Structure 1
Amino acid sequence: MSRFAVACVLAFAAAGAGADDAVTFDARELRAIVRLSPLPPPPRDPSNAVADDPRAAKLGERLFFDARLSANGATACATCHDPARAWTDGKRSADGGARFARNTPSIRDTAHNRWFYWDGRADSAWAQALGPLENAREMGGNRLAQIRLVASDARLAADYAAVFGALPDGIADPRRFPPAARPLVDAPDDPLDVAWRAMRDDDRRAANRMFAEIGKAIAAFERGITVGETPFDRYVARLRQGDGAPTREFTVAAQRGLKLFVGRGQCTLCHSGAGLSDGEFHDVGIALGENHRVDPGRHRGVLTLLASGFTRAGEYADAIAADAPIRYLALQSDQLGQFKTPTLRGVAGTAPYMHDGRFDTLEQVVRFYSTRVGASPLGHPTTLLKPLGLNEGEVGDLATFLRALGGER
């Protein structure tokens, strides 16, 4: 933000724009505000060569809505990531056939993510897309059945070939690609899977590569799913021009909430940048769930990721970037009970909240951070959080601001 623009805003604030209840922002607050908007285009993903290929996105869209990829033929990616529900499911915890302990995140703007899932057990959008395909509590399929489906469906096969080239040699031969094998996404060499182990090494690699390409197509589709421009973004655009007056879509209450967000609330310590998330993991004291069961969070996520065959630095990445995060990954004791900071863009449409869906409203979330009542850190809590002591008016203002972070349908 230029010094001229800051001066214009400060002049506006000092004048009060003729409104008794106009909110003023000092220079520090203004600098903090303009860092939160606009959201730039997502970064490139060198590990997915087709991430920005519209043909891959079209193939990925078909796969995303195709329930035949599941074991029961009735569950698709869209079952839990419903476009009518902000690309989530609206449930306290995910239920794709078996109940999970965790809430289903929205997939909007996930192309900006560094880590995926609440525990970060995937380091790319395409690797994340593979997990539910074989998870027994989600779609429960297996990669051999899934790649054979693509190969046997004329439309899918043609679309696949247009993006990735020829299908694997011999894929129609059940002796080379047995349909009965059920390898798990994070343990493809499960010793119990005799059929998978009996395959030739080159056929297993071909199957894995095609499976990874299915994930890359789905990721290309998801890359275009965004929250879009929000009332907050439009307000910041006007603020940059020296016009900080409240509007019908960004009210005085939202302004007050914004002032708390970048000021006394210290929300930007974790919900920073234009993505409104630092993309990292914190123990905010909610790892203790129902029946006092502990969710290990990031600790287990790191173990899963280190064992995965599908990473940005692995054999099935199209290119390995120097900053591939798994290169710097290490298991640490303080990761127990940590969960990823979610983006707040579009947050009003993604209730219930937190990794286990324990809060139904934004007001409940704000009160939790204000009072810290019920917080149970697991021995290595974040030192960033302290009770804020907000009154009910401030709780409402902050929730109003958060609702202004929603985009267009």
Structure 2
Amino acid sequence: MRLHDSITPHIALAALTISLVACGGGGDSTDTTIADLAPISEAPTNTAPILTLAASSLEIESLSTSSIELITSDADGDSLSLSLSSPSFISAEIQGSQLLINANDVQTQQQESLIVSLSDGQVSVEQTLLVTISPITQQSLLTLPESQFNYANIVLPQHYNVNAFANNFPFQSAAITSDNTPDNNPITDHGATLGRVLFYETKLSLNDSVSCASCHVQAEGFSDSRRLSVGFDGGETRRHSMSLANTRFYQTGKFFWDERAETLEQQVLMPIQDNVEMGLTLTQLVDVITAQPYYAALFSSAFGDETVTSERISFALAQFIRSMVSIDARYDQGRVTVNNPLDDFDNYSLDENAGKRLFMTPRNGIAPCSSCHSSEAFIGPVIAEDSNATTSASNNGLDASSDADLGVFESTGNMGHRGKFKSPSLRNIEVTAPYMHDGRFDTLSQVIEHYSSGIAAHPTLQGSLRDSEGNPVRYNFSAIEQAQLLAFLATLTDESLLTDEKFSNPFIR
């Protein structure tokens, strides 16, 4: 370096200092030194973003889907963008904080390196996920009968088609008048067969672990013996799993405890898309069903061609579920021998007939149990033709107020719907414990005791459960009467529905 090059900056600085001190004009001015000047700002330093994968390796089976958590952050608050490499045997996408991995069909074990890149516009960081794809070791075997099961032409008993209650039972009607089957989706044998396969298909969940049947178990009345069901990633559902028996006869056709689904066709797709229950998008759903070789023929038989759509999936599932009609309980077997449901049944014991009368007839001016579990399908309340009501859901006084779960209000915003919930059919009630939307009662005895002595004064309590002064009623069932009610409710168990092959799992593993 030349000497004058190293000295020049110091000379210039000294000159600047002298100049600043000399300036100022009149005597009232204050001298300014270099120390008084604002510091010259330096260019900001960029901090690299942080990318974290919950695991560095992943094992996945051919034609299945899995996910791992992906966390991003940036101390500077920069806008971040993620990108993925494109390996041969897997595809991947990012949804929120999840990295979703879909494995292609492989015949031998393959390993892929998936590179995830995160950029803040200036700096990029990478993480590598080593994915091992294994061929399917235990292929599910789909077994269907050569001749179709009968789903479409189920012969309903007369007591489903004709209301035999007297005129002084205004809350009663024939079950068939509440049939919610839409004109554009009638039950067909081929459609319901496809629905049966889809109902038990674990590939409807993100990691191929749960199906619709996981939360609606045939032997448990298509309900769940757990208070809250468990989803694909181990999380619990918000409410108890409702029985599916006789869903065809819900008058309004609305579904879920809070009736947020307007139709069964809407309802069946919602758990599939739920982040706790099954975790798929509709696009993923269509892709994974299309990839299974056995669906082409099933869709062709049901809809005329092999095209898979989410609407067709919903139609098939709805057909299968609507075919779950309970018509062969001991109640039905006894009912065909009499003209009136209030008559004693020949196949009932004294206690069972006494329990039936308790259930169906008013008690000391209080509406009977059958007013909220109406028709001989034992579905929820019916809405009268001249009523302006928009829901048949009811508040049965479980609590004095609604806090965490507001029921139908959550889907309608109507204050009068706070704490109201859909009433499921009582068919197979003996095997669908626990009870209520939150599964709070472990036994039917606890349910009966609630109505006997525990109805709370909720602001939206069902009118039939209030006395003339607006207070909650008390049925005050004696111990003997409670036992009789239990005996009657047990006669609503339909063993055929609980064991019939046409409603069973068609997959053998």
Please classify the TM superposition score into its range, dividing by the shorter chain length. 0.5 to 0.7
Q: Does 1:398 align with 2:485?
A: yes
Mapped to 1, the partners of 2:436 and 2:341 lie a distance apart of 36
Taking the TM superposition and a 5 Å limit, the aligned residue runs for 1:333-352 are: 333-352=415-434
Residue equivalent to 1:278: 381
Q: Quick one: structure 1 residues 130 and 82, their matched pair in 2 at CA, closer, same or farther if it must change by over 3 Å?
A: same
Aligned ranges 1:174-323 → 2 under 5 Å: 210-240=309-339, 247=346, 249-261=347-359, 262-264=361-363, 266-276=368-378, 277-278=380-381, 280-286=392-398, 293-302=403-412
**CA–CA separation in structure 1 for the residues paired with 2:190 and 2:461:** 45
Larger Cα-atom Rg: 2
**Change over 3 Å in CA distance of 1:390–1:140 after alignment to 2:** same
Could you tell me whether the CA contact under 8 Å between 1:353 and 1:360 is conserved in 2?
yes
Between Structure 1 and Structure 2, the one with more strand by share is 2
Mapped partners of 2:381, 2:344: distance in 1: 29
Q: CA deviation at 1:263?
A: 2.7
Question: Aligned pair 1:134/2:246, yes or no?
Answer: no
From 60, 67, 70, give the equivalent of 2:195: 60
TM norm structure 2: 0.55
- Distance in 2 (CA, whole Å) between partners of 1:32 and 1:273 is 14
Displacement after TM superposition at 1:83 (Å): 1.4
C-alpha distance in 2, partners of 1:148/1:29? 50
SS in 1 for 2:268: helix
The answer to whether the Cα contact below 8 Å between 2:416 and 2:460 also exists between their aligned partners in 1 is yes
Counterpart residue type for residue 256 of structure 2:
Y
Q: Choose the corresponding residue for 1:92, options 227, 233, 250.
A: 227
Structure 2 counterpart SS, 1:240 = coil
| Distance apart, 1:104 and its partner CA | 0.5
Task: State TM-score, norm by structure 1.
Answer: 0.68
Higher relative contact order (CA 8 A, sep 6+): 1
Tell me the residue number matched to 1:176. none
Give the superposition deviation at 1:64. 0.9
Counterparts of 1:142 and 1:287 in 2: how far apart (Å)?
36
1:12 paired residue number = none
Partner of 1:307: none
Q: What does the per-residue CA deviation read over 1:77-118, in whole Å, with 9 as the maximum and x for residues that have no partner? A: 111111122211211122223112311111111111222111
Contact 2:373–2:381 under 8 Å retained in 1: yes
Report the CA distance between 1:165 and its aligned residue: 4.3
Instruction: Count residues with an aligned counterpart.
Output: 308
Q: Aligned partners of 1:42 and 1:64: how far apart in 2?
A: 24
- Looking at structure 1, the residues matched to 462 and 178 of structure 2 have their Cα atoms a distance apart, in angstroms, of 28
1:376 shift after superposition: 5.5
Runs of 4+ in 1 over 4 A off after TM superposition: 28-33, 35-42, 165-168, 241-247
The CA RMSD over aligned residues, in Å, is: 3.0
CA deviation profile, 1:264-290 (whole Å, cap 9, x unmatched): 16112211222222151112222579x
CA distance in 2, matches of 1:347, 1:155: 35
Q: Secondary structure at the match of 2:337?
A: helix
Letter matched to residue 259 of structure 1: R
Match of 1:361 among 438, 443, 450: 443
Shift in CA distance, 37/250, structure 1 to aligned 2, threshold 3 Å: farther
Structure with bigger helix share is: 1
Once residues 245 and 288 of structure 1 are traced to their aligned partners in structure 2, the CA distance between those partners, rounded to angstroms, is 38
